[in-house]
Amino acid sequence: MYYNQLNIKSDKLFDYLLNLPHDNLPWIEHFGFDGFDVDLSWVDKDAGLAALHNLYPLKRLGLLRIPPNSIYDWHKDEYRLSTVNMLIKHDHSHSLFAKSRDNYYINITELSYKPYTYYLFNNQEYHSVINFSKPRYLFSLYFDKELDYTSLKELLHPILL
Ligand SMILES: [Fe+2]
């Protein structure tokens, strides 16, 4: 209900994004993130991304950076129903989903990103990122047409773990 791992890894994009000169990119503000647009031609060059794009087309790719010693506050995305994410580089961070339990507690579920691995992500559940002492770099994207997580999960079934 929160996320699903894709069964096709990134074979080229991960290393490209990891080895970019992160301190010297032309970052642009994007919903509180530093954002860097990644060329859409990557949909043909990376195995995992190509499989995804062939099942449900993508329109925008990007690298998102959040600063050290920060929490990106609990939210549901304003303009995105779902996405696919891949964690590129961090030191110590936690990506969490949440649902209220009672007056005192919130149930949390962590998405523990594995390297070279894409995850279908439900942006319409409450989520947050806790980031410790180094900048955190996440690959993310927009689908060409927004689609809810449940429908997308059915559509992407052949490439979900
Ligand atoms: Fe979000």
80 CA to middle of ligand 1, Å?
8
CATH of the domain at 142: 2.60.120.10
pLDDT in tens, 98-124: 999 999 999 999 999 999 999 999 999
DSSP 160: B
State residue 119's pLDDT score. 98
**Six-digit token string for 153:** 């999960």
Total domains, the chain: 1
Whole-number Å distance between alpha carbons of 151 and 157: 10
Residue found by looking up tokens 């050290």 in the block:
68
Contact yes or no for 26/65 (Cβ under 8 A): no
pLDDT in tens, 24-78: 999 999 999 999 999 999 999 999 999 999 999 999 999 999 999 999 999 999 9
Q: Which domain holds residue 150?
A: 3-159
State residue 68's pLDDT score. 98
Whole-number Å distance between alpha carbons of 33 and 23: 15
Contact yes or no for 7/161 (Cβ under 8 A): yes
91 CA to middle of ligand 1, Å?
20
**Six-digit token string for 128:** 């947050």
Which residues crowd ion ligand 1, with CB under 5 Å? 77
pLDDT band at 126; cut points 50, 70, 90? very high
